[in-house]
Amino acid sequence: MKAYPCDVLIVGGGLAGLQAAVTIQEKAPASKVVIADLGGGASSEIMGFCAPLAPGDSPERFAEDILRVGGGENDPALVKRLTEDAVATVRRLETLGIEFDKNDRQEYDLLKPLGSSCPRVVHHKTVTGKAIIERYRAILARNNHIAFHKSRIVKLFKHKGRIAGALGFERGAPVGYSTSNVILASGGGAGLFGFSSWTKMLNGSGYALAHDAGAELVGMNRIQFEPCVSVYPEKLYGFPIITTLLHEGVRLVDGNGDPVVNEPLPKRELALRIASVVSEGKDCGHGGVWFDFSGVEEEAFKTRYPEYYSKLRPYADRMADLRIEVKPAAHTTLGGVAINAHAETSVPGLFAAGEVTGGVHGADRIGGNAGLEVLVFGRAAGESSAAYDAPAVDIAGPAEDFLSAIPCGRSEREFLSSIGEILNDFCGVISSRKDLLAGLSRLNQLHTEFVNDPPVRKEDHVVCCHAFTTAAVFLESRLDSADT
Ligand SMILES: Cc1cc2nc3c(=O)[nH]c(=O)nc-3n(C[C@H](O)[C@H](O)[C@H](O)COP(=O)(O)OP(=O)(O)OC[C@H]3O[C@@H](n4cnc5c(N)ncnc54)[C@H](O)[C@@H]3O)c2cc1C
């Protein structure tokens, strides 16, 4: 097994993981950091995030909103850190060159998210997440102590109650990470649902990793459903439409032409309302309700939401006729790994940040708070990780034991690679009769293993059968002419 010793392993390269890495680089520049990431995270979708920058707004008022919308299920210490660090987060990004949109008076162009008592979402056009990711990746690329691995982390190991390392798979091969310091930033699990607002990549593996390592999970009953995800026209199926548009004149209308709500509600209540209308049989033909743009001022839509404008506007000749059928889809996971305000979990050496964690949002999340959460607690995780020191332990033994105890059929790739080795070793440029017979014997042995423990997929099964047949033909056909 390949081994990668490192000071810190970050599981997940979304904004929480990147923010943690940037902070470690700032606090402990010589740290050897590996970021294991499969890609496809939700951070690229962040349109903007909350910060109390409007006149009359404050961290206290922001915290009141969060606790109200979260139904008091929130951890007040996390809410305090989130709200108090928000403005500093904006300033820090500005010093790194991120430009937030401003109006003619050079005030921040703040959007009002559902559930918020005032406008609060700062944004760089509609691509804030992408812009910050790009900036952070450029910063990290200059540091040769930081490596990105396209590996899937499947197990965290502990030694004497502390984190000792992790096991991953990189292009199908097992890789071991010996490190006493792991930051879990693996995002949410809404992708496990059949209808979700984001990709299947976000399958919640971080919750399983943490749970298995003995970390506490909180609020796992709280999944946020994005209220307005397109179901029709078909080409837009699964496309989430930003709900701040409900403050710009969009109306939700049921199949009878009646309004679904009289005022914009927080996301959870809105999703419940839409789901009830649909379950009462008042849908608009495809299991959803109309997201009706007829009351939206075209110029405002075009300038404030250019990506949405160019994607949605072509679906009607006149703005007044533009309507998309939407229904709620599993969106973000509100619960997750329990952390304190320093992003420490209950397991020494395990830190966590971003959507994989729980506690800050409670029963419901105000739009724009996930983007803030990844930045604030990504930074907290980076700070705590940089200050943490514990001896490293070699995890090769436990990793091998873990792998050999997994009771599953071998993959087609493993059989093909074993067949390849047999041909390399016994059917090379020069092969004696003795070699070829030994190769055939090894091939038969492998075939018996294949029969007893075949790959699960039928297609893989046939691919292996073909490989066994052809390999046997290669070996046998050279027997007659081979030297003894
Ligand atoms: C469509 C959409 C729009 C959104 N818009 C907004 C918005 O405007 N404002 C806002 O505040 N929030 C928004 N959110 C929510 C926000 O995007 C997420 O909560 C946030 O980006 C999560 O960031 P993260 O770094 O925790 O995880 P992610 O960015 O999801 O990254 C997690 C990464 O971990 C990797 N990973 C997972 N498991 C493993 C493993 N076992 N091994 C290795 N790698 C692994 C994944 O491949 C992924 O790359 C939106 C979400 C969606 C889906």
Residue 484 in this model has a pLDDT that exceeds 90: no
User: Which residue has a Cα nearest atom 38 of ligand 1?
Assistant: 186
C-beta atoms surrounding 152 within 10 Å: 18
Closest CA to 3 of 404, 447, 375, 393: 393
pLDDT at 459: 85
Task: Say if residue 421's pLDDT is above 80.
Answer: yes
Sequence ranges of the domains in the chain: 2-220+334-400, 226-331, 410-477
How many angstroms separate the alpha carbon of residue 12 from the centre of ligand 1? 9
Q: How far is the CA of 69 from the centre of ligand 1 (A)?
A: 22
Does ligand 1 lie within 6 Å of residue 39's CB atom?
Answer: yes
Grade residue 23 by pLDDT with cuts at 50, 70 and 90.
very high
Average pLDDT over residues 87-101: 98
**Above pLDDT 70, what percent of the chain?**
100
- pLDDT band of residue 201 (cuts 50, 70, 90) is confident
Cα–Cα dist 196/59, whole Å: 32
- How is domain 226-331 classified at the architecture level of CATH? Alpha-Beta Complex (3.90)
Q: How would you list the strands of the sheet with 217-218, edge to edge?
A: 217-218, 336-338, 357-358
CB of 205 shorter than 6 A to ligand 1:
yes
Q: Which class does domain 410-477 fall in? A: mainly alpha
Residue 12 Cα: closest atom of ligand 1: 34
pLDDT of residue 192: 84
Q: Is 36 near ligand 1, meaning CB less than 6 Å away? A: yes
Pocket lining: 219 vs ligand 1, CB cutoff 6 Å: no
- Determine whether the shortest distance from the Cβ of 352 to ligand 1 is under 6 A: no
Average pLDDT over residues 56-82: 97
* CA–CA gap between residue 325 and residue 289 (Å, rounded): 5
Cα 187 to ligand 1 centre (Å): 5
Distance 77 CA to ligand 1 centre (A): 23
Kindly state the DSSP code that residue 349 receives in the 8-state scheme. Answer: T
Split at pLDDT 50, 70, 90, the class of 403 is: confident
For the segment(s) 2-220+334-400, the CATH number from 1.10.3720.10, 3.30.565.10, 3.50.50.60, 1.10.10.60 is 3.50.50.60
* pLDDT at 79 exceeding the cut of 90: yes
**CB distance 198 to ligand 1 below 6 Å:** yes
Determine the atom of ligand 1 nearest the C-alpha atom of 123. Answer: 8
Q: pLDDT per residue over 9-18, tens digit each?
A: 999 999 999 9
Ligand 1 centre and the CA of 355: distance in Å?
7
* Ligand 1 binding pocket mutation candidate from 46, 124, 205 (most atoms within 8 A of CB): 46
**Cis amide leading into 233 (omega within 30):** yes
Mean pLDDT over 157-171 rounds to 95
* Mean of pLDDT values over 250-263: 96
Is 482 or 340 the better-scoring residue by pLDDT?
340
Ligand 1 mutation pick, 151, 186, 326, max ligand atoms within 8 A of CB: 186
Q: What is the CA(122)–ligand 1 centre distance, in A? A: 18
| Alpha carbons 56 and 52: distance in angstroms, whole number | 9
| Predicted pLDDT at 411 | 87
Task: Compute the mean pLDDT over every residue in the chain, rounded to the nearest whole number.
Answer: 94
Quote the pLDDT of residue 424: 87
Is the pLDDT at 51 greater than 80? The verdict is: yes
Residue 348 confidence (pLDDT)? 98
Q: Is the pLDDT score of 189 beyond 80?
A: yes
- The whole-number pLDDT of residue 353 equals 98
Is the CB of 355 inside a 6 Å radius of any atom of ligand 1? yes
Q: How far apart are CA 77 and CA 241, in angstroms?
A: 32
Mean pLDDT, range 209-219, rounded to an integer: 95
Nearest to 132 by CA among 219, 22, 226: 22
In tens, the pLDDT along 323-382 reads: 999 999 999 999 999 999 999 999 999 999 999 999 999 999 999 999 999 999 999 999
- pLDDT for 72: 93
The band of 455, judged by pLDDT with boundaries at 50, 70 and 90, is confident
| CA dist., res. 89 & res. 376, Å (int) | 7
Kindly state the average pLDDT of the residues 24-53. Answer: 96
The predicted pLDDT at position 361 comes to: 97
Number of H helices, E strands in the chain: 13, 18
Q: Among 18, 19, 34, 38, name the best residue to mutate to test ligand 1's pocket (greatest count of ligand atoms within 8 A of Cβ).
A: 38
Average pLDDT value for residue range 49-75: 97
Q: What is the pLDDT of residue 1?
A: 86
Torsion-angle region of residue 40: left (phi > 0), alpha (psi -120 to 50) or beta?
A: left
Question: Which one, of 205, 210, 247, lies nearest residue 121 by Cα?
Answer: 247
Q: Which atom of ligand 1 is nearest to the CA of 185?
A: 26
Q: Average pLDDT in the 165-170 region? A: 93
Tell me, what amino acid is at 457? R
- Name the pairing type of β-strands 33-36 and 8-11: parallel
